[in-house]
Amino acid sequence: MRTGNGTTLLLLFPCICSIVLIIPCQRTVKAQSLPPAKYDGFLYTNHPVDSDTIMIEAFFDPVCPDSRDSWPPLKQAIHHYGSHVSLIVHLLPLPYHDYAFASSRALQIVNLLNPSATFRLLDSFFEHQERFYNAQTSNKSRDAVVNEIAEFTAETVGKSYYSAIVSGFKDSKTDLKTRVSFKYSTSRGVFGTPTFYINGFVLPDSGSSIDYKGWRSFIDPLLA
């Protein structure tokens, strides 16, 4: 509903309580930066892509256990099929993982600094993600955890990057890139991780890991 002073009034009525959000129209439009200059996501494969290439898209949260468990069999499948498939990884930092956004932002920062280290950092987050779970960080301040993530990132990609990583967390551009990734994921109807698409079609059982045999069962018929 539009009010007389140019603001938009949204009334949301959940089952028990109501929430009133007043959103200034002009500020909403100004803050919107979509579409981005480049397609969202991190390209895992570096071979040429043509109309016969099977395109796989994975939506991950760096501190999601199910995302972690789904990553090794997906990599195994990608290596098995070689140039027949291409993989793009999108980030969806889930709001109930307290430091999913900061972890995703670290990946965006590293991808700007040294794209060849992006998936090395993703591997490291998956291997040590318990450090950044809600319970393990509940008694720490946000600044302390972000500093820990910056140090962890530098340990993974190279300590010479530490100052650039810290600067990246202060750069509004990396914050915006992380938000754009979140918005892109939700625009595709993704609300949980991991979620997978093959050639633009979502696979069943969103939020569940797929093992290597599962990937073979999806992809083999497409190459037959």
- Please list the residues that pair with 175 across neighbouring strands: none
Residue 92, phi then psi, degrees to nearest 5: -130, 90
Q: At residue 173, does pLDDT exceed 50? A: yes
Mean local confidence (pLDDT), 40-51: 90
Please, is 153 exposed, middle or buried when counting C-beta atoms within 10 Å of its C-beta (0-12, 13-18, 19+)? buried
**pLDDT score at 26:** 41
Query: What is the DSSP-derived secondary structure letter of residue 86?
Result: E
Mean pLDDT along residues 47-57:
91
* Average pLDDT score over residue span 150-169: 98
Q: What is the mean pLDDT of residues 162-189?
A: 96
Write down the pLDDT at residue 32: 52
pLDDT, one tens digit per residue, over 69-102 is 999 999 999 999 999 999 999 999 999 999 999 9
Cβ-contact 104, 91 below 8 angstroms? yes
Give the rounded distance of the alpha carbon of 140 from its chain centre.
24
- Is pLDDT above 50 for 55? yes
Chain-centre distance for alpha carbon 13: 29
197: Cβ–Cβ under 8 A, 6 or more apart, which residues? 55, 56, 57, 188, 203
| pLDDT of 71 | 98
Rounded CA-CA distance 8/165 in Å is: 38
- Bridge partners for 60 per DSSP: 91
The neighbouring-strand residues paired with 195 are 59
- 159-182 b/e (C-beta count within 10 Å ≥ 16 → b): eebeebbbebbeeeebeebbbbbb
Q: Which residue has the higher pLDDT, 6 or 103?
A: 103
Mean per-residue pLDDT of the chain: 88
Average pLDDT over residues 170-185: 95
**What pLDDT score does 33 carry?**
57
pLDDT above 90: residue 37: no
pLDDT of residue 120: 98
Who wins on pLDDT, 17 or 205? 205
**Is 160 or 45 the better-scoring residue by pLDDT?**
160
Average pLDDT over residues 205-216: 93
